[in-house]
Amino acid sequence: MKIDIITLFPQMLNSFFESSILKRAINKNLVSINFINPRDFTNDKHHTTDDRPFGGGPGMIMKPEPLFLAVESVKIDESFVIFLSPSGKPFRQEVAESLSISHQHLIMICGHYEGIDERVIQSIVDLELSIGDYVLTNGALAAAVVSDAVIRLIPGVIGAGEEGIKNESFTSGILDFPQYTKPVKFRDMEVPEVLLGGNHELINKWRIKQAIEKTIENRPDLIFTNDKNDEINT
Residues 137 and 177 reside in one and the same domain: no
Specify the number of domains making up the chain: 2
Last residue of a domain, one of 121, 151, 181: 151
Domain span at residue 216 reads 169-232
Element (H, E) at 202: helix 200-218
Domain match, 147 and 173 both: no
Model pLDDT for residues 133-164, shown as the tens digit of each residue: 999 999 999 999 999 999 999 999 997 655 55
Q: What pLDDT, in 10s, does the model give residues 62-101?
A: 999 999 999 999 999 999 999 999 999 999 999 999 999 9
Cα 213 to Cα 46, 101, 199, 228: the distances in Å are 56, 31, 21, 12
Please determine, for residue 43, whether its predicted confidence score (pLDDT) is greater than 50.
yes
Assess whether 42 and 146 both reside in one domain: yes
